[in-house]
Amino acid sequence: MKSSRILLTALIAAASSASFARAQSCQSLVFSGLSSACALGGESASESACCDTLGRANERLCFCDIELMGTIEMVIGNDGIEFFRNFSKYSCDGGELVIGDACSGTPPASGPPQPQTPPTTPTTTMMTVNDYNRHRQSHGYEFSDNAMPTTPRERIPMFPPRAAPEEETVARWVLDPRRNAEVGFTADALSLTGVRNVLHGNASLTFFVPTNEAWYSLLFQLGVTKEELFGASTWLEDALRYHVVNGAARTSTFSFGTLLPTDFTGEDLSVETYTDGRGQAVVRVNGCSVHTSRNRRDVSVGDAGLVHFVDCVLLPPGRLLPTRRTIDQYIRSQRSLSMFANAMRGSSLFERLAEDKWFTVFAPSDDAFARFLRDPRIGMSFYVDDEDGSAHPSLTDVLTYHVAMGFHSKRKLSMSRAPKSLFTMDALEDSSASTHRRVYVSTRGSRSVLVNGCAIIGEQAFARNGVVHVIDCVLSPNFDSS
């Protein structure tokens, strides 16, 4: 049954729309009287006042008025009528309402006089304990085996207890359809994995939520569709867990270098904070920017949850990326890298990039290679390995100098705490030259990344075991082949 408050509010609305007279008629007594006396939110309402009003209406045989009862039934239904009937019987001194079959042989309470009819024996049905218990259970009242009133008489609560509203959790907050335009992709990912159960818990936690734009940027960088990404459910779950931080991590408590332990195998997120040129506080996590708006940062959810929007997807460390393409396949497929690909075909580098290791490739664009080859000291001889022991680097030396060991995304390289030098492929194979065979990383502004002074341009591309960055010049080794 609907709550009494809602039902009585409906009665008030019905009374207003029907323009019932305010005199002491049955209509006024039932609609206006019960609404004010039995709606416990009002100042004059109470159970005793409600019982008094029901008693007066019962004395006037108001509930025998067929027309009036038809209106009441349309407003509150049979369940509502049954509620007040039982409330009067078991909680009021006035006893059972004269209603239905009990009205046989009585004149209606309103309308024109009706002819008297011979009295007949009421055909009421005796209410058993089981009947009463079923009624109480179906309407949410407290239930017990001895619910039928005895002495002292048990009182029916005016408003039956309601179930408490569902507790708001981080998972429900993200899954709310009203937020689909901003984080619907993350909501879909949560629905597919078991991480939503983690976010449904009562433990104190913080969730860094990638925006839809962040996810679609990742799809482009991986060269996959949403369906293909969701097919890699293990990676997807690891990635989402890497966005969950244990405890309430408010940005106001962050400082430069703060480490945040995540739900993903104990891995940490690295925090950077600084103030930009407009005096605005900037927070970055693993190089991803935390949204600056108040309703997108430090959003409290429920009793223990906290939400921050971030502009990129945090990649779980040590996990192969969910794409089938390899580094060499990507380089061969890009027209803007054709000269670099041709140079690599003249060496064994493509085969070495297929090894079970992580690589970061800095690939010069065709424009960069064209400028490099116009140097009269280089020319087309660059494509031929020099084996005569001359003092300049060989083709293989130059190409391997463009391949760094490990996985280094642009976001990671842009961080102030990122390594400023990276070992190249041959540095680990030739330990005597390892101090020289490095590339050096620097930043210009908050996003621009330079490698040996060459700028990373365009979007990065992810392969299964590494990343490719396009750069605007050819890296010149700082060593020779001797």
Task: Give ∠ CA 200-201-203 in degrees, rounded to 5.
Answer: 140
pLDDT at 233: 93
pLDDT under 70: residue ranges of the chain: 1-24, 32, 35, 39-45, 74-77, 94, 105-166, 202, 376-393, 427-436, 446, 478-482
Q: Same structural domain for residues 100 and 189?
A: no
Give the residue numbers spanning the domain of 296: 170-310
Q: Same structural domain for residues 287 and 353?
A: no
What is the Cα–Cα distance from 254 to 267, expressed in whole angstroms?
A: 18
- The CATH number given to whatever domain includes residue 463 is 2.30.180.10
| Residue 482, in any domain of the structure | no
Q: Same structural domain for residues 235 and 336?
A: no
Q: Same structural domain for residues 277 and 337?
A: no
* Predicted model pTM: 0.63
CB atoms within 10 A of CB 336: 15
pLDDT at 436: 59
Q: Same structural domain for residues 256 and 361?
A: no
Half-sphere exposure of 38 (CA within 13 A, CB side): 33
pLDDT at 308: 97
- Decide: 273 and 281 in contact? Cβ < 8 Å: yes
- Decide: 449 and 336 in contact? Cβ < 8 Å: no
Q: Same structural domain for residues 267 and 345?
A: no
Tokens of 34: 């019960």
Tokens of 14: 């019905």
Q: Same structural domain for residues 337 and 448?
A: yes
| Residue 163, in any domain of the structure | no
Q: Same structural domain for residues 334 and 209?
A: no
- Decide: 275 and 301 in contact? Cβ < 8 Å: no
Q: Same structural domain for residues 108 and 11?
A: yes
Q: Same structural domain for residues 134 and 177?
A: no
Nearest alpha-carbon partner for 80 in 31, 143, 26 = 31
For CA atoms 211, 215, 220, 226, the dihedral sign is negative
Please identify, among 310, 338, 365, the residue that sits at the C-terminal boundary of a domain: 310
pLDDT at 294: 87
* Residue in this structure with the two tokens 């075991």, named with its chain if needed: 465
Q: Same structural domain for residues 210 and 117?
A: no
Tens of pLDDT along 32-83? 677 677 764 445 567 777 888 888 888 888 888 887 787 777 666 677 777 7
Q: How many domains does the chain have?
A: 3
pLDDT at 273: 92
Tens of pLDDT along 326-349? 999 999 999 999 999 998 887 778
pLDDT at 110: 47
pLDDT at 473: 92
List, as one string, the DSSP characters of 149-175: --SSPPPPPSSPPPPPPPPP-HHHHHH
Q: Same structural domain for residues 208 and 301?
A: yes
